[in-house]
Amino acid sequence: MQNKHKKNDFLRFLKDEKFIEWKLFPSDELTAYWENFLQEHPNERENMTLAEEHFRNIRLSSYSLSPEKKEEAIIKLEHSIHTFNTKRKILRVLYVAAACAAIFILSVLYIRINNNQPKADAILSDYIVGSELQSENIRLITNNKTTSFQENINIEISNTGVARIKTDNENQEDISMDEKTLNTLIVPYGKRSSLTLADGSKVWLNSGSTLIFPTQFTENNREIHLTSGEMYIEVAPDSQKPFYVHTSDFNVKVYGTKFNVSAYTDSPQSVVLIEGRVSLQHGNKQETFLSPNEQAIYADNGTFNKQKVNVNQFICWKEGYLEFDDTPMEDVLLQIGRYYNLSFNYDKNTSLKGHTCTGKIILFDNLDNVMTTLALISSTTFTKEGKQIYITINPNKTSMPMEK
Amino acid sequence: MPTSKNIALIYNRYVDDMYAYALHLGFNEDTVMDAIHDVFYKLHINRVSFENIYNPKFYLFRALKNRLIDICKESKEYLGLTETPEKISESMPFRLQVTIEDEMIREEDLAEIRQKVENVLNNLTDRQREIVYLKYINEYTYEEIAELMQISVLACRNLLSKSMTKLKALSKPILQDFPFIFLFIHIC
């Protein structure tokens, strides 16, 4: 009995707040108190040691995380870190890319400025003025009736003589055509159109073009007339019915092929062959045969000058961009002027003489973007005031154009 | 820079203590887990190297407490109040949970002991309980506790000694009970 009680005597210590306090935060004072107690009651030492041992089982905090939650939290953390690392990597790549682009642009500009310095001596007049012209509608004349369209159109002619006309805005209109009379499609400057003929041949018409074509090809020959402008055509093969394109200067006889015809009044007429075989003929003179990647430029005496060309430069307009390779600035402005219906006026002795341009210009709907690109690749500056556009050669150290 | 593997290792080692500390400060479990996540995420972003940290556990506790204060601040700003970190730190509750598991002691005795320990702790302020927790359970020094609680070392010592005096006033001297015990033994 006595043993049993003795066994539980240590509980008195555990139930004593002064003992609890001493165990939780021992101070010199409390330590002295309990040492004094032991001296007075030496037989309590055993109980106190026992109480101290049991005190370790008292916990003030029992919160703990379950292993599953811990695992889940670690996975979440690793995921966050992984995402962050990926972002950091992408950012680093972007920084490097931006730096490379900046260096590239700066060096291109530097080279251009340097290249232009000798040419700048020939500067005579200070700037070119371009003006936006009155916008005109695309006109389709059939059965002596004219239909107008404000936007670029895409025409498909069916076997039954119905022309299905689609605009860029997906509007659709059907017009039935007379089989006997010829139809005329007039695409003014600043507009483009495409046309699928009754035989399946596909025609792209550039700005400032007029094409005369039949509703059906009933004759033994398929014949169309490009009275002015430029077109690219992919002729549907048909060995029974040869295909002819007539311009004011010559006839193109087609043997199943893709080619570009340029018949603007303000530049020499020419044909560029992409695929297949065509022959050119002025009046009854001898035929000139063209092979792919060749350009034939009509000379006034009825002959053609042939040369190898990069065909892409001549047909890229139908894809919505222009490509230049050391092209004279005058030609560049001519092409852009046609596309956007602009007229550029400059002196014959303009400062742009001898100035060339290399690069690509995407033909955006927004003229400002195009002029910005042009300014960049031709090292010129442009300013726009209302419908007038002023282009100046970038001034450089050797000569100031304004001094003239 | 700690790799994600290192981070996971450190996380595993210290998350339990951090978790308990934040819960004692009165935050709910989701907030606590988010705060701990943020602390370790920030460690990675700032490329903190653990080799240069003298006491990683203390470092993590401090980072966690700062994060919790920020969370408080955000929610208070949401309510339209603005408070300094010191004030927020001052106003956080601190609750401790007393548990005893001892097969040698009978259930009713355990209940009584638990009651006594709770009495001792309930007579302290929140900040005093926090000091007891940090000192007794996590074995921090006064300097570390002072930094964690954003108070001076002196204030920290004073807080603890005040808690002691309070406790002393409470506790009855054990000796008063002893004559009765001796008597009891003799009778048996």
Q: What is the CA radius of gyration of chain B?
A: 21
Say yes or no: A258 and A158 in one domain.
yes
Say yes or no: A332 and A296 in one domain.
no
The answer for A234, left when phi > 0, alpha when psi is -120 to 50, beta otherwise, is: beta
Pair type for strands A342-345 and A153-157:
unpaired
Using a pLDDT cut of 70, give the percent of chain B over it.
79
Q: Does B133 touch chain A (CB under 8 A)?
A: yes
Query: Residue A267 has which token pair?
Result: 């530049």
Map residue B42 onto helix, strand or coil. helix
Q: How far apart are CA B131 and CA B157, in angstroms?
A: 9
Pair type for strands B99-100 and A153-157:
unpaired
Q: Please indicate whether, in this complex, the C-beta atoms of A21 and B120 are within 8 angstroms of each other.
A: yes
Residue A69 is assigned to a structural domain of this protein: no
Instruction: Give how far Cα A216 sits from Cα of A72, A204, A236, B78, Å.
Output: 74, 18, 14, 76
Residue showing tokens 């498909």: A156
**pLDDT, position A173:** 83
Distance of CA B147 to the CA centre of its chain: 14
Q: Does B110 touch chain A (CB under 8 A)?
A: no
Q: Please indicate whether, in this complex, the C-beta atoms of A12 and B20 are within 8 angstroms of each other.
A: no
Total number of domains constituting chain A: 4
Q: How far apart are CA A17 and CA A30, in angstroms?
A: 12
* CATH for A332: 3.55.50.30
Q: How many CB atoms are closer than 10 A to CB A129?
A: 13
Say yes or no: A96 and A43 in one domain.
no
Say yes or no: A337 and A285 in one domain.
no
Distance between A21 CA and the closest CA of chain B, angstroms: 7
Map residue A344 onto helix, strand or coil. strand
Q: Please indicate whether, in this complex, the C-beta atoms of A59 and B100 are within 8 angstroms of each other.
A: yes
Check pLDDT > 50 for residue B188.
no
Residue A21 is assigned to a structural domain of this protein: yes
Say yes or no: A125 and A189 in one domain.
no
Distance of CA A55 to the CA centre of its chain: 76
Domain residues for A37? 2-55
Map residue A173 onto helix, strand or coil. strand
Q: Does B11 touch chain A (CB under 8 A)?
A: yes
**pLDDT, position B3:** 59
Q: Please indicate whether, in this complex, the C-beta atoms of A82 and B4 are within 8 angstroms of each other.
A: yes
Q: How many CA atoms lie within 13 A of A309 on its CB side?
A: 25
A334, with CB counted inside 10 A (0-12, 13-18, 19+), is: middle
- For residues B87-110, average pLDDT: 82
Query: Residue B167 has which token pair?
Result: 């406790």
Question: Which H or E run includes A128?
Answer: strand A127-132
Q: Please indicate whether, in this complex, the C-beta atoms of A6 and B41 are within 8 angstroms of each other.
A: no
Q: Which of A141, A314, A295 has the alpha carbon at shortest distance from A227?
A: A141
Residue A155 is assigned to a structural domain of this protein: yes
Range ranked top by mean pLDDT from A160-169, A197-206, B87-96, B122-131: A197-206
Interface residue of A55, A81, A88 to substitute, partner B, most B CBs within 10 Å: A81
Pair type for strands A58-59 and A321-328:
unpaired
Residue A64 is assigned to a structural domain of this protein: no
Interface residue of A13, A25, A55, A79 to substitute, partner B, most B CBs within 10 Å: A25
Q: Are A207 and A338 in contact (CB under 8 A)?
A: yes
Q: Please indicate whether, in this complex, the C-beta atoms of B102 and A17 are within 8 angstroms of each other.
A: no
The model carries a pTM of 0.45
Pair type for strands A243-246 and A222-234:
parallel
**pLDDT, position A218:** 83
Say yes or no: A112 and A124 in one domain.
no
Single residue among A314, A329, A355 that ends a domain in this structure: A314
Reported as a single tens digit per residue, the pLDDT across B10-20 is 888 889 889 99
Check pLDDT > 90 for residue B36.
yes
- What's the DSSP call for residue A125? B
Show which of residues 52-81 on chain B sit within 8 Å of chain A, judged by CB atoms. Answer: none
Q: How far apart are CA A150 and CA A138, in angstroms?
A: 6
- For residues B101-109, average pLDDT: 82
Residue A65 is assigned to a structural domain of this protein: no
Q: Does B173 touch chain A (CB under 8 A)?
A: yes
Residues of B in contact with A77 (CB under 8 A): 4, 7-8, 11, 37, 40-41
Say yes or no: A216 and A97 in one domain.
no
Is the complex ipTM more than 0.90?
no
Residue showing tokens 């400002």: A368
- What's the DSSP call for residue B81? -
Check pLDDT > 80 for residue B187.
no
Q: How far apart are CA A278 and CA A293, in angstroms?
A: 12
Q: How far apart are CA A163 and CA A183, in angstroms?
A: 11
Q: Which residues are registered as beta bridge partners of A174?
A: A164
Say yes or no: A210 and A307 in one domain.
yes
* CATH for A298: 2.60.120.1440
List the single residue in A1, A19, A81 with the smallest CB-CB distance to B4. Answer: A81
Residue A40 is assigned to a structural domain of this protein: yes
- Residues composing chain A: 404
Map residue A172 onto helix, strand or coil. strand
Say yes or no: A47 and A28 in one domain.
yes
Say yes or no: A128 and A230 in one domain.
no
Nearest residue in chain A measured CA to CA from B33? A73
DSSP alpha helix (H) spans, A190-328? 312-315
Query: Residue A174 has which token pair?
Result: 């059907």
Say yes or no: A199 and A262 in one domain.
yes
Per-residue pLDDT of chain A (404 residues; tens, 9 = 90+): 344 445 677 888 888 888 888 888 777 778 888 889 889 988 888 888 888 888 888 888 878 888 888 888 888 888 888 888 888 889 999 999 999 999 999 888 888 777 665 444 444 445 666 676 777 888 888 877 888 888 888 888 887 888 888 887 777 888 888 777 788 999 888 888 889 988 888 999 988 899 999 888 888 888 899 988 999 999 888 878 888 999 888 888 887 788 999 888 888 888 999 888 888 888 888 888 888 889 999 887 778 888 888 888 888 888 888 888 888 877 888 888 888 887 777 766 666 667 777 887 877 667 777 788 778 777 777 777 777 777 777 655 333 333 33
**pLDDT, position A285:** 81
Domain architecture of chain B: domains with CATH: 4-91 (1.10.1740), 107-172 (1.10.10.10)
Residue A61 is assigned to a structural domain of this protein: no
Residue A199 is assigned to a structural domain of this protein: yes
Q: Are A75 and A342 in contact (CB under 8 A)?
A: no
Check pLDDT > 50 for residue B68.
yes
Show which of residues 140-159 on chain B sit within 8 Å of chain A, judged by CB atoms. Answer: none
Say yes or no: A164 and A310 in one domain.
yes
Q: What beta strand segments (E) does B23-177 contain?
A: 99-100
List the single residue in B23, B105, B116 with the smallest CB-CB distance to A54. Answer: B105
Distance between A90 CA and the closest CA of chain B, angstroms: 15
Nearest residue in chain B measured CA to CA from A78? B4
**pLDDT, position A16:** 86
Nearest residue in chain B measured CA to CA from A40? B175
